[in-house]
Amino acid sequence: MNGGDDAAVTAGSGPPTSLEWRFSQVFGERTAGEEVQEVDIISAIEFDKSGDHLATGDRGGRVVLFERTDTKDHGGTRRDLERADYAIRHPEFRYKTEFQSHEPEFDYLKSLEIEEKINKIRWCQPTNGSLFLISTNDKTIKFWKVQEKKIKKVCDMNVDPSKAVGNGSLASSSKSSSPSQFVANGLYADGAHNDFSFPPGGIPSLRLPVVTSQETSLVARCRRVYAHAHDYHINSISNSSDGETFISADDLRINLWHLEISNQSFNIVDVKPANMEDLTEVITSAEFHPIHCNMLAYSSSKGSIRLIDLRQSALCDTHSKLFEEPEVPGSRSFFTEIIASISDIKFSRDGRYILSRDYMTLKLWDINMDSGPVATYQVHEHLRPKLCDLYENDSIFDKFECCLSGEGLRVATGSYSNLFRVFGVAPGSTEATTLEASKNPMRRQVQTPSRPSRSLSSITRVVRRGSESPGSDSNSNSLDFTTKLLHLAWHPTENSIACAAANSLYMYYA
């Protein structure tokens, strides 16, 4: 790991102490020897802005929502909880609801099978107690509304036991049940308007149902479908800070959408060459700036990040800034471009920094300094001698995600054997923690191998035999390339991480 003094996202009096991470919860843990179904493998994780809700998507096209409960169960505000013993009242989530977001499809015009797998989930601004989010598979984006609805039930009939007549009942209580006392204009003999039933006195055999709504149920409804705008696989969606628009990116194009308009989008980036044989790089990830709705960044398979300003032109063919690390002379090899491909980028919360993940490293970039990253964190350097084996078993094409803590003092990413690593980025910090996603960190779990979908982003790929080759980490521990922690998310305001190992969702806190 190396980094400079510029690596601090938040200035402080000194480097913060290393965090002690503890296991919090697990959802969907398997018993020993239990096989994992392909459709149950988690493929996306996302916290909402408040951190009170968490969404996961899986390869079966399902979206599962979790909600935080410790703030409710203890009857206090989050500030009260922070004052309390955090080790006792750690973040707790519970299952909220799930719904089928996408179904498998077949494009008959292109003879193309479209998987239902959820590639990305992004939360939108909640309104009137309802939750909104967008989810996407390879081709279609959907806008979902999740709200509580009262269940209406016919719970009773208007039966008054004291006035029951046979099998029926009096429809209403009146001064007298004798119709003979009724006079014109609804007046009784004594001139009082005491009977408002119709007909006067009621019908003894008439029973009217009483509808009540006591229970509530969560209902997910698809509000809009944004389809037919991408020729290639969608790898990213990102909400704008204006709360009204979002972008979607595939291998060659980035489109701008309005949440309320599903039948048209604007193509703002197009890197497709006139001749596809001239194609040298593809878009791998894209994200809006968290504060400025006119700025966004996207990464490429050549290891570069481009910052673009939507105010410059309608089609952003030119970038306002380019971030790439200069190549070391004499270091080029067959694997150079493959391992340089950026699989994920994330803005820091204040928008000042961009975190990128390629196969070997995490890099932190200052958007005001395009000469090179301000810090580089080695994740897979110990695998460099095994690149041939990793190429043969397709592991070299695995796309690991990355995330930053809310205050920007730490970064995290995943690795093999269900490991994830946390690094400190403050000046002088030597924090580098490795944990295994498991209730028992010493236990090794065997999982179904998950191969990445074949798309334009693997333009250097060739047909070859698949094989599995064991490796080892920097501590000489054996690595299992069939188990990989690709997806993780950091709580926006607290030191809490959610990470996915196959079909299991693990929660850690510090």
Dihedral sign of CA atoms 218, 67, 31, 118 in order: positive
Number of alpha carbons in the 13 Å side-chain half-sphere of residue 214: 7
Residue 264 burial by Cβ neighbours in a 10 Å radius (0-12, 13-18, 19+): exposed
**Whole-angstrom distance, CA of residue 371 vs CA of residue 171:** 84
The whole-angstrom separation of Cα 349 and Cα 291 is 8
Q: What is the largest CA-CA distance in the chain?
A: 112
- pLDDT value for 449: 33
State the pLDDT at residue 197. Answer: 57
Q: Which helix (H) or strand (E) holds 500?
A: strand 496-501
Q: How many CA atoms lie within 13 A of 471 on its CB side?
A: 27
* Lookup: tokens for 316: 């952003």
Question: What pLDDT score does 472 carry?
Answer: 55
| Residue 506, helix vs strand vs coil | strand
Give the Å distances, CA to CA, from 504 to 70, 131, 270, 355: 21, 24, 37, 26
Alpha carbon distance 437, 212 (integer Å): 46
Residue 212's pLDDT is what? 77
One-letter identity of residue 297: A
pLDDT single digits (tens) 302-336:
999 999 999 988 888 888 999 999 887 777 888 99
Sequence-separated (6 or more) residues with CB below 8 Å from residue 477: 417
Sign of CA dihedral 85, 87, 89, 91: positive
Instruction: State the alpha helices, DSSP H only, in 372-495.
Output: 387-392
Q: Per-domain residue ranges for the chain?
A: 2-153+223-509
CA 207 to chain centre: 51
Q: Which CATH number fits domain 2-153+223-509: 2.130.10.10, 2.40.110.10, 3.40.640.10, 3.30.300.30?
A: 2.130.10.10
Give the pLDDT confidence of 238-284 residue by residue, as tens digits: 999 999 999 999 999 999 999 999 999 999 999 999 999 999 999 99
Q: What is the pLDDT of residues 115-137, one digit of tens each?
A: 999 999 999 999 888 999 999 99
Q: What pLDDT is stored for residue 164 in this prediction?
A: 47
Output the CA angle 59-439-420, nearest 5 degrees: 65
How far is residue 441's CA from residue 453's CA, in Å, rounded to a whole number?
30
Indicate the SS3 state at residue 241: coil
Task: Please list the rounded mean pLDDT of every run of 10 residues in the chain (510 residues).
Answer: 41 65 89 83 96 96 94 51 51 94 89 93 93 96 92 68 47 43 46 55 68 81 95 96 96 96 95 92 96 96 95 86 86 88 96 96 94 94 92 94 94 94 90 85 37 38 34 58 94 94 93
- Please report which helix (H) or strand (E) contains residue 217, including its range: strand 209-226
The count of other CB atoms within 10 Å of the CB of residue 487 is 24
pLDDT for 477 equals: 55
pLDDT given for residue 495 in this prediction: 93
**Type and span of the H or E element at 337:** helix 336-340
Alpha helices in 48-174 (DSSP H): 70-73, 78-83
What are 4-16's pLDDT values in tens digits?
A: 434 334 334 456 6
Name the nearest CA neighbour of 421 among 378, 382, 390: 378
Q: Where are the beta strands (DSSP E) in 250-304?
A: 253-258, 261-270, 283-288, 295-300
**DSSP-based three-state secondary structure for 207:** coil
Between CA 458 and CA 397 the distance in angstroms is: 7
CA 101 – CA 118 distance, rounded (Å):
8
Locate 99 and state its tokens.
């719904």
Give pLDDT, residue 116: 95
Please give the pLDDT value at position 112: 86
Cβ-based neighbours of 274, under 8 Å, separated by 6 or more: none
